[in-house]
Structure 1
Amino acid sequence: MSNPVYGKKAATSRNGEKLPAAFMLLIIGLILFLVWAPFQAGLFNGLVIDFEKPIYWAVLVGSVLLLVWVAAYFKNIKLENQRDWTAIFVLLIPITYIITLISAASQYFASNMVLIQCLYAFMFIMGLYLLQNKKANRVVETTIIAVGYIIVLFGLFNWLGQGRTVSALVGWFSGTVVKGQYTQAIWIDANGPRLASVFQYPNTYAAFLMAFFFVAVFAITRSKKWYEQAIHAFMLVPMVLSLLLTLSRGGLVFLPVVFIVLLLFLKPAKQILWIVYCLLAGVGTLAIAKPVTDLGQQFHLGKIGDPAKGWLYILAVSLLLSLLAWLIQRFVAPRLEKATSKWTAKKLANLWLPVVSVAAVGVLVALFLGTNLKHVLPGNIGERLENINMQQHSFLERMTFYKDAVKVIKDYPVIGAGGGAWASIYEKYQNNPYTSRQAHSFVMQYLVEVGLLGFIIFMAFLLFIFYKYVRGYMKAGEQDRESYFVYFIIVFSILIHSLMDFNMSYVFIGMIVFLGLAGMAAAMDNRPVTKFTLKSGTIRGLYTSLMVLASLVLIFMSIRFIQASQDILKGRTLMATSSNFQEIKAPLDKALKIRSGHPDGVLNMSVLLKAGFDQTKEDGFYNEEYNLLTNALKKEPFNKNMYNQLIKLYEAKGEFDKAYAVLRDNADRFAWDMSWYEKLIVQSYELGYQKLGQQDVAQKEKYFKTGLDAYQHVVDGVAHLKTLPKGQLQGNPFELTQLMILNAGKMQYMLNEPAKASEILKLGIKDDLTDATNKEIARWYLGALQKAGGSDQAVYDKLIKVDPSEKDSISQLAGLSF
């Protein structure tokens, strides 16, 4: 592979070779981009207004870099071989996301995902051409590894209580640093503190650590210089330790799987070295895991810790491992290479150790899970290992997500429900009232978003690159194999872990995966394509025109979206600090002119207009808010907050029948929202009671039927939740409330079904009858019982004791006819 030299202006490399200015600018820009990106928590596609700007900035920077790439590689753009055609193929991925805008559950999320997928395609295209240059490949690879190591050290600094110190270093360019602390670098949940570093989610950090641990092991065995070997070896223990501190069971489960697969790509001498380094890293980590874990837990649980002591443990073991790695590479590795030369020459020689490793991993798993060996680990880590089974709540919940995702796919089979659809639509399909804006599987989430068409295109792209890379790897010499193997390790490790988690929802992770795919494509077994060969000038003109146009469009969109985001944040701030209506409204108006359906912009404007209507009762405010919400809901038909704002607007105007219609027509979209069904039941009773007073029997029965159907939905839901597997958590509360019982009982009574009414109302009988709602339930219960010919003396005595006048009220109720 030769170094491309384009253009007239050029810089001079150390060996005197001329490198074009645009080429150098592209490398520098990409390096800075990779350093900046991981510290932006907003680079996560479960977007909210506070974190969306980094997405748009990333797309803006990526689009600018693509223009630089066009300048650097214009003369090299051809469609002569399979590698060239992958630069065309990758464009089908964002195109599938553009197609899903037709059926998108959320235009906001879908349009954001179009931008993100375009960024990924740009990263692939730039990497495909750039990484064919050996010098550029070394620089980019070194940058990726260095960034990985920085993220690891950043996480440990946070764990040992020095988060403010390292946060100050990145705070000037990261919006994730709030009040001097990087947000959620340490995750606190029921398991205690969990290390998340820059990702704010321990499981994704575990996938990242797994990938870069194997990158470090590979880099030790490949490096010829002692200081490079020492640096990579030094990072092994911090990465294994960090992996344990994430408390990620998925990371520990997938680690041996990835390890065994990667061994298959190595010759026996390298396999032995990999096993040795993994064992050394494991033993070194176990030696310090308890004290370092305890120090971090003490600090994050509010106790005084000693970070210097923690770093002393880490540095001591890491330096020792660096020394051992240097000695092994200096004296053992060459002898091992000679000793295994005959073994290497045998057929299927690289299969023996992986097979043995499978057995060894099985033994280790049995020892850690079935014996007291797990007690060598810190308590919470040992407990997490002990809970790895198919009846554990995390596994059961994931299985539920996947089953629910299949329901979505059945309704949107071909082109999907649009980018980010799961976050918008999952409540309609969920089996129980969990809260999860991610499907916890890249495969399932991708199918939900783009359907079978998009998924087939993506898998064809992915499998083609893997097939061609592996084929080329098998044919290549050792030096060529080692030049791009880092990319394979990163891509394979992250994608395997993503089968059961949402790592690819992090834009930074997506960026390095697509850059890694580009590295694999740059080294793949390449063949000429003659069937579709066109003139180079024609192809160059068409392709570069398309790339330039796409870049300019995305630059324009990104700038506009950044402006809209800033204006919404400004409007929200003014709502808390200003009483001037026009001052608050001005930035929101500007934002909504750019993105009329932006959920946060719409909701903030809706609150402002609602306040104006409440104060003045002027129809102008009502009409403006009504148009705002109804138009936005056409783009965001599953946005519960917008529906709630519309309901409040109707109620403020006294249009309770319209509020009822919103509740009724969208109940199936929020099937496990207890408050939604409570409001629907109450509203059904109120409107039905009004119709009763107007002697409109048909309308009364219509409203009551809706209310009772909603009540039965809750009853059935409560019964269903009792059938969940023992280890599975229910999620949010879902139960019959006192208001549900009271109003359902009243409706049943007013339908002349006193016996059924008493059965419902009995469920709401409480000991505390001083509470107004409890007292009313008891009154209606006793009245219904009396009318049905029954009685409940115990409840009757309690109620009369609290309020003797209830005796007459009960008799009056029992005598009513409807």
Structure 2
Amino acid sequence: MSNPVYGKKTAASRKGETRSALFWVLISGIILFLAWTPFQTALFNGQMLEFEKPIFWAAILACLLIFLWIAHSYKSIQLKDQRDGLAVGVLLLPLTYILSLISAVSHVLAMNMVIINCIYAIMFIIGLYVLRDKLGNGIIQSTIMAVAYLIVGFGLLHWFGQGKTAGAIAKWFSNTVLNGTYTHAVMIDSNGLRLTSVFQYANTYAAFLMAFLFAAVFFVTTSRKWYGQAFHSFMLVPIIVSLLLTLSRGGLVMLPVVFVLLLLFLKPAKQLLWILYCGIAGVTSLIISKPVTELGLSLNEAFSSSAALKGWGILLGTSAVVGLLGWVMQSFIAPKLEQALGSWSFKKTSNLWIPLGSVIIGGLLIILFIGTGLKNILPQSISVRLENINFNQHSVLERFTFYKDAMKVLADYPIIGAGGGAWASLYEQYQNNPYTSRQAHNFFLQYLIEVGIVGFLIFMSFILYTFYKYIRGYIKGSEEERNSHFLYLIIVLSILIHSILDFNLSYVFMGILVFLGLGGMAAVMDNKPVKKWSVKDSTARGTYSIIVGLCAILVMITSIRYVQAADSGMEARGVVQVSTSFEEIKAPLDKDLSIRPSHPDSVLLTAALYQSVFKQNQDENFYDASVALLNKALKDEPYNKSMLKSLIESYEMKQEPERAYEVLTNNAHKFKWDIKWYEKIINKGYDLGTNALGTGDTEAKDKYFKQATKAFTDVQAGIQHLNTLPEGQFQGNPFENTPDMILHAGKMYFMMNQPEQAAKALKLGIQEDLSQTTQQEIVRWYLAALQKQNLSDDALMGKLTQVDPNAKQNVQQLADLQF
């Protein structure tokens, strides 16, 4: 390798180790803090305030970190080689998000993503430079592993019903502890209980566990101390058991893929050791998975200290056995393997055969577990999930739908994208069926629609170049140099591969791990000087430091202001719970909106406050203030359904149904699978049309009736489309005709002198039971529409007569109406 990982220590550098250690400890502390706040980035339509604040604090800490780094490592900044070029290139990533603000469909979410990508850029730069230092690299790696193991233990505490104990620890540095328990550390969905630990989402926790399973195996095989080998071996069982308890099919599918890719980097002896450790830990984990699962399920229903103790006993006892085996194998078997396979390791294709063999063996194991009685050793919840791994399964079909819909978004925002949070804002407009998913479940596609082709090409070039140069350096490096930063490859590869199927990088903590890992990979990449750069060291150092420093100052100031805004927004929500004073509630809201004028949470609360006062005293100033505020915010957040609904409510309060209806119809294309939106268009269109008919305004009547019946036609087309979905794919949210919708559509067709269309629409709502008034009216208008066509339905007329003796007379009166 042209640049060794660690050079010889001079006397001056040894004197500075204490100061450096404090710097590395500070970085480690920040990582530890962020681990317990795995906030998502793309929440939308409410409750954003409580999730955003940690993001801004993370940005403030990152900026402080870059200032300290510039002060600490100023002389080491030399923009001379390819590695330093990445320090410049990473700045393009937040720049592409800034560029996407031009066409951003949500200004608030887009600004959040700008700040988040600034955090990532800072973590990469820090990693690129500080992880070249042996002491710093050791401290950071130890911190990362310690945090990972703590997260595993934290999750298992919740699984064994000890959430109160875990919550008492986490409440000091996390805002997700409610009623003494960390929220959703064990989530519930249609599959039952699923372990999530701090992530509150099982699939992302599975990606995290996959990365640190391989990291633990790596440290077992590279630790020189017996206690290091034993401890990392000990942790293999808790990690694998936790992975099984997530019930993540994506994790189980991607785990062998990442495993085989990582094996390709190892010599045959290490490959066999990895397989042995994973095999031993995997088998023992499967053996205890059934009692551990059953105990956890019962403990989450009703806690029992004896049952919890039994669960911990099984888990820790098994882990201790595996830990002991790991130490024995590493002490006695590993050296013999190295010696026996030493000559084979020098052959060119020696590292290919074992991975290929593991693929075949892995395939056979999958067939055995899915297709034979061997699956009976597993808990039912896990065996059912394994059985459902196929391309016709709901979640697979749904993901393919997300990906197709994402490409529709890209077609409309191809060059610079639709800004941060684009999927969360836009997916309802482009979705194929009425699912609910504010994540595209593919990081790369989500990134693509946010920053467009330009930004995506820059990002992928950055990622692929880092991998390419790292691999070249890895091939040329010594054993010590390879091992020094291999942890970062494990983390980055595991999380990115799993992110093909899920939204792991919508968790800022996961993103920080990835970009810190990329920095660690770049720190030891195959490196060459860039001859074209002829700028003096002092000039390059000063220019780069000034640019980065000024950007960090700007980000820090913005983040501080956003923290103040978030605090004010949260304060207003708190005041609402205890006070009805207009002034007390509005004061903190004004402060938030003065900083972020279109923030949805505060805009909605302020508008609701204005509306409440208007209802009380009918002062039109409050009505005008509500409408003005909402219209202004909607310029930045045009796809925010809650704001649009609030604007409609304002118009309706003021008895301006025409303006409310205009909002409904103008924005219908944004929510094309929201049956309630369509129902409002149809029902309100009928009301407005009949009112216009009553005043003799036939032009207005036709306008409203045509808009409403078009919406009804769109609903029928949508229902027909849903019938074409693959058998294994769920429809999603309800999307079907309602009696009121059918009745009003039929009546409008009737009043537009379209009896055939009226009969066709009304027939959709005819039921056997005619006891309900609405059902009777549907049949009455249907028979009248038939009569208009000189047709009849005697059987149906007879049924109607049973509940309405005057049915024939009423139907005749309707048929005689002229419009």
Shorter-normalised TM range: over 0.9
Partner residue, 2:28:
31
SS in structure 2 opposite 1:341? coil
Q: Structure 1 pair 760/4, CA: closer, same or farther in 2 (3 Å)?
A: farther
Give the drift of 1:693: 2.3
Partner residue, 1:298:
298
Partner residue, 2:233:
233
Q: Could you tell me how far apart the structure 2 residues matched to 1:20 and 1:529 are?
A: 33
Q: What is the Cα-based RMSD across aligned positions, in Å?
A: 1.7
Give the drift of 1:789: 2.2
1:791 partnered with 2:792:
yes
Equivalent position to 2:43, from 42, 46, 61? 46
Counterparts of 1:264-283 in structure 2, within 5 Å, are 264-283=264-283
Q: Deviations over 1:352-404 (max 9, x none)?
A: 11111111111111111221111111111011001100000000000000000
Q: Structure 1 pair 44/411, CA: closer, same or farther in 2 (3 Å)?
A: closer
Partner residue, 1:256:
256
Q: Could you tell me how far apart the structure 1 residues matched to 2:349 and 2:657 are?
A: 76
Counterparts of 1:133-532 in structure 2, within 5 Å, are 133-302=133-302, 306-532=307-533
Q: Contact (CA 8 Å) 1:45, 1:507: kept in 2 or not?
A: no
Q: Could you tell me how far apart the structure 2 residues matched to 1:346 and 1:626 are?
A: 75
Q: Contact (CA 8 Å) 1:25, 1:68: kept in 2 or not?
A: no
Give the drift of 1:576: 2.9
Q: Could you tell me how far apart the structure 2 residues matched to 1:96 and 1:703 are?
A: 44
Q: Contact (CA 8 Å) 1:20, 1:72: kept in 2 or not?
A: no
Counterparts of 1:88-103 in structure 2, within 5 Å, are 88-103=88-103
Partner residue, 1:130:
130
Unaligned runs of 5+ in 1: none
Q: Could you tell me how far apart the structure 2 residues matched to 1:437 and 1:218 are?
A: 36
Q: Deviations over 1:479-535 (max 9, x none)?
A: 110000000011001100101110011000000100000000001001001102311
Q: Could you tell me how far apart the structure 1 residues matched to 2:8 and 2:342 are?
A: 38
Counterparts of 1:665-744 in structure 2, within 5 Å, are 665-744=666-745
Amino acid in the other structure paired with 1:84: D
Q: Contact (CA 8 Å) 1:5, 1:19: kept in 2 or not?
A: no
Give the drift of 1:351: 1.2
Q: Could you tell me how far apart the structure 2 residues matched to 1:24 and 1:627 are?
A: 55
Counterparts of 1:749-768 in structure 2, within 5 Å, are 749-768=750-769
Q: Could you tell me how far apart the structure 2 residues matched to 1:191 and 1:519 are?
A: 38
Normalising by structure 1, what TM-score? 0.97
Q: Could you tell me how far apart the structure 1 residues matched to 2:789 and 2:40 are?
A: 63
* The 10-residue stretch of structure 1 (297-306 or 131-140) with the greater mean CA deviation from structure 2: 297-306
Give the drift of 1:316: 1.0
* The 10-residue stretch of structure 1 (793-802 or 47-56) with the greater mean CA deviation from structure 2: 793-802
Q: Contact (CA 8 Å) 1:402, 1:439: kept in 2 or not?
A: yes
Partner residue, 1:586:
587
* The 10-residue stretch of structure 1 (305-314 or 432-441) with the greater mean CA deviation from structure 2: 305-314
Q: Contact (CA 8 Å) 2:598, 2:636: kept in 1 or not?
A: yes
Partner residue, 2:106:
106
Give the drift of 1:30: 1.1
Q: Contact (CA 8 Å) 1:441, 1:502: kept in 2 or not?
A: yes
Amino acid in the other structure paired with 1:90: V
Partner residue, 2:814:
813
Q: Contact (CA 8 Å) 1:109, 1:419: kept in 2 or not?
A: yes
Q: Deviations over 1:637-656 (max 9, x none)?
A: 11111111111111111111
Unaligned runs of 5+ in 2: none
Amino acid in the other structure paired with 1:300: N
Give the drift of 1:792: 3.0
Partner residue, 1:606:
607
Give the drift of 1:28: 2.1
SS in structure 1 opposite 2:485? helix
Runs of 4+ in 1 over 6 A off after TM superposition: 3-6
Give the drift of 1:302: 4.5
Equivalent position to 1:18, from 4, 16, 19? 16
Q: Could you tell me how far apart the structure 2 residues matched to 1:49 and 1:4 are?
A: 49
* The 10-residue stretch of structure 1 (299-308 or 197-206) with the greater mean CA deviation from structure 2: 299-308
SS in structure 2 opposite 1:499? coil
1:625 partnered with 2:630:
no
Normalising by structure 2, what TM-score? 0.97
SS in structure 1 opposite 2:500? helix
Aligned length: 811
Q: Could you tell me how far apart the structure 2 residues matched to 1:345 and 1:120 are?
A: 39
Give the drift of 1:699: 2.6
Q: Could you tell me how far apart the structure 2 residues matched to 1:772 and 1:3 are?
A: 87
SS in structure 2 opposite 1:500? coil
Amino acid in the other structure paired with 1:93: L
Q: Deviations over 1:408-428 (max 9, x none)?
A: 000000100101110000000
Q: Structure 1 pair 25/67, CA: closer, same or farther in 2 (3 Å)?
A: farther
Q: Could you tell me how far apart the structure 2 residues matched to 1:328 and 1:755 are?
A: 82
* The 10-residue stretch of structure 1 (42-51 or 670-679) with the greater mean CA deviation from structure 2: 42-51
Q: Contact (CA 8 Å) 2:41, 2:506: kept in 1 or not?
A: yes
Q: Could you tell me how far apart the structure 2 residues matched to 1:588 and 1:771 are?
A: 47
Q: Contact (CA 8 Å) 2:39, 2:509: kept in 1 or not?
A: no
* The 10-residue stretch of structure 1 (592-601 or 778-787) with the greater mean CA deviation from structure 2: 778-787
Give the drift of 1:300: 2.4
Amino acid in the other structure paired with 1:434: Y
Percent sequence identity over matched residues?
A: 53
Amino acid in the other structure paired with 2:652: E
SS in structure 2 opposite 1:194? strand
Q: Could you tell me how far apart the structure 1 residues matched to 2:529 and 2:760 are?
A: 78
Q: Could you tell me how far apart the structure 1 residues matched to 2:115 and 2:105 are?
A: 17
Q: Contact (CA 8 Å) 1:664, 1:706: kept in 2 or not?
A: yes
Give the drift of 1:806: 4.9
Give the drift of 1:779: 2.6
Q: Contact (CA 8 Å) 1:155, 1:185: kept in 2 or not?
A: yes
SS in structure 2 opposite 1:52? helix
Give the drift of 1:805: 4.8
Q: Contact (CA 8 Å) 1:268, 1:353: kept in 2 or not?
A: yes
Amino acid in the other structure paired with 2:222: R
- Which of 1 and 2 has higher RCO (CA within 8 Å, sep 6+)? 2
Amino acid in the other structure paired with 1:240: I
Q: Structure 1 pair 691/753, CA: closer, same or farther in 2 (3 Å)?
A: same
Q: Contact (CA 8 Å) 1:442, 1:502: kept in 2 or not?
A: yes
Q: Could you tell me how far apart the structure 2 residues matched to 1:387 and 1:645 are?
A: 42
Q: Structure 1 pair 433/18, CA: closer, same or farther in 2 (3 Å)?
A: same
Q: Contact (CA 8 Å) 1:104, 1:110: kept in 2 or not?
A: yes
* The 10-residue stretch of structure 1 (779-788 or 297-306) with the greater mean CA deviation from structure 2: 297-306
Q: Could you tell me how far apart the structure 1 residues matched to 2:579 and 2:419 are?
A: 38
Amino acid in the other structure paired with 2:67: L
Give the drift of 1:741: 0.4
Q: Could you tell me how far apart the structure 2 residues matched to 1:518 and 1:550 are?
A: 19
Q: Structure 1 pair 2/324, CA: closer, same or farther in 2 (3 Å)?
A: closer
Partner residue, 2:661:
660
Amino acid in the other structure paired with 2:609: L
Q: Contact (CA 8 Å) 2:562, 2:595: kept in 1 or not?
A: yes
Amino acid in the other structure paired with 1:219: F
Q: Could you tell me how far apart the structure 2 residues matched to 1:132 and 1:151 are?
A: 27
Give the drift of 1:768: 4.4
Amino acid in the other structure paired with 1:286: L
SS in structure 2 opposite 1:415? coil
Q: Deviations over 1:245-300 (max 9, x none)?
A: 00001111111111111111111111111111011111110121100010011122
Give the drift of 1:795: 3.6
Q: Deviations over 1:328-360 (max 9, x none)?
A: 111111111111112112221111111111111
Amino acid in the other structure paired with 1:165: T
